[in-house]
Amino acid sequence: MKSLRVVLRHVERYRVPLALTMVSMLALVGIQLVGPWLVKLMIAAVTAPGAGPEVVGLLTKLALITLGIYILRAAMQFVRSYAAHVAGWHVVADVRNEIYQHLQRLSLRFYEDKQTGQLMSRTVNDTDLLEQLVAHAIPDVIVNALMLVGVTAVLVSMSWQLALLSMIPIPFVLLAMRGFGKYVRPAFRRRQAQLGELNAALNDNISGIREIQAFTREESEAERISGRIAHYRDSLLHALRLMAVFHPSIEFAASLGTVILIYFGGRLVLNQTLPVADLVAYFLYLELLYQPVRALGNVWESIQQSMAGAERIADLLEQETDVTERRDALALPGRAAGALRFEHVSFKYAVGDMVLQDIDLDVPAGSVVALVGPTGVGKTTLSMLIPRFYDATEGRITLDGRDLRDLTLASLRRQTSLVLQEVFLFHGSVRENVLFGRPGATEAEMIEAAKVANAHDFIADLPEGYDTLIGERGVKLSGGQRQRLAIARAVLKDAPILILDEATSSVDTETEMLIQQALERLMRGRTTVVIAHRLSTIRNADQIVVLQEGRIVERGKHDDLMAQGGLYHSLNRIQSDLIAGGGDLPTGK
């Protein structure tokens, strides 16, 4: 089973704690088998004809042996419990690492219709269930199976007739386990899916709490979350209802063995074919016989939950990225010159029509090309093909004459820096976010990058300077400050190719000037692809490319395009009129 393989390939790494678990479990099985036998010896000794004071010495010896066994049992229980948990939580950590590394390899196409909360639920909640499987379910199945075999052997040695009669309920127990497993695992899988939906909704609403409050949607969103909570509760109760039927069924089947023993065992004693001491021991062993049967019933619930989580994990790990790296891919040895060439490039998302069609474009090393056009014509999509966040559906893109698909992803992306309109900053300090561009940079290099980005002055004014915590997504900073930190991060990375999504339309004039100065410094000596929002900022671009309906309809310098009187001229006129009237027209993505 694919779900079980997810666990087993990690379990092999923890043979030592698992071996300790197995040894301790075998010792516990032996200890449990010895206990009733000592009771039998005690009863036989005190009820034997002519028993006298010499029996006291035997009783003392039996008591000391029993004490030693109980001490050993306590030690073995500790070893069994701790060693199993060591293996279990290590496996969980390994699977979580595997999931995260797999998520990092998947292309942006995978994330188009995924919610963060859903993926977090599979990484955290579903993997949690694997600990039950490794540390509890699998060891318990093994120890109880061994216990069942051992007790059966002892019972057969005492009375094979009673042993056979005592086994009558066991086939019914096995059938019940098989039948309930067919219905319980899907129920637990639905429960995990509902938990993922709940996590996704909570993640969205907590991230968007400002919008919820601004639009006074608290009541409706509370009802929506309440609905998610209710769905999770109902799916959980449905699974537990099935198990609530299962457990009494197991218990009833196990109790039938006692009924059988009372009737047939009592008759054997009356017929003097079975000693009383043996019958008492038989009752004790019978409890040991059905103890693993009951335990297997309880373990069955854990197994079904764990396997449901493992199936969801396996489904995620089976997701393949459409952006693959060839085995013979070339790792660029140093800094690329930065010359880009798009050759008959077309692209479409998983669903929908072509976003880009037959794009032919030369971007010489060190030049600035601006992408212009109405909203939704594919400007951002075109730029995202350069670091291979997506792969072209048709055609090819080259860097310094090499097909991007012939390069390793890591070496390609080291050649690229991004400053996007929607800046993402991590929860942490200013220092951590700037150094994200190049973690090994020195303090002086970091400060210099901040100065180039016109960010050093406002950072110095923060309560703790570069060590100031900025909150999730940089919530403690203004939009302009976040943008300048993103620029500083790109400056520090010092990549030869820059993808720039200008984001100055929502800031004040002074901040826009600071950002524009920083961007101009950042663009020097780099191949720059600018997604233009304010057309006034790209007048000096080496090449302006105008897109419409996924195709290049115009290209050239500003003055040449204005003279043509085409789409670019029209966009400029409209935007100039709006700015003159106090507005602005971002040309979108």
pLDDT tens-place string over residues 13-32: 888 888 888 888 888 877 87
358: confidence class by pLDDT, cuts 50, 70, 90? very high
Among the residue ranges 41-50, 438-447, 467-476, 573-582, the one predicted with the least confidence is 573-582
Nearest to 258 by CA among 332, 165, 171: 165
So what's the pLDDT on residue 221? Answer: 85
pLDDT tens-place string over residues 264-295: 777 777 777 777 777 777 777 777 677 777 67
pLDDT tens-place string over residues 523-561: 888 899 988 777 767 888 899 999 998 999 999 998 899
Cross-strand bridge partners of residue 548: 551
So what's the pLDDT on residue 347? Answer: 93
Report the residue count for the chain: 589
**For a pLDDT cut of 90, what percent of the chain falls above it?**
16
pLDDT tens-place string over residues 228-253: 888 888 888 888 787 777 767 777 77
DSSP class of residue 583?
-
Cα 368 off chain centre by: 39
Nearest to 372 by CA among 574, 578, 107: 574
Look at 125 and 357; give whichever has higher pLDDT. 357
Q: Which domains does the chain have, with CATH numbers?
A: 2-317 (1.20.1560.10), 341-415+543-589 (3.40.50.300)
Q: Which residue has the tokens 């037959």?
A: 358
So what's the pLDDT on residue 504? Answer: 57
390 three-state secondary structure:
coil
So what's the pLDDT on residue 509? Answer: 67
- How far, CA to CA in Å, does 482 sit from each of 161, 384, 455, 471? 82, 21, 9, 11
So what's the pLDDT on residue 589? Answer: 45
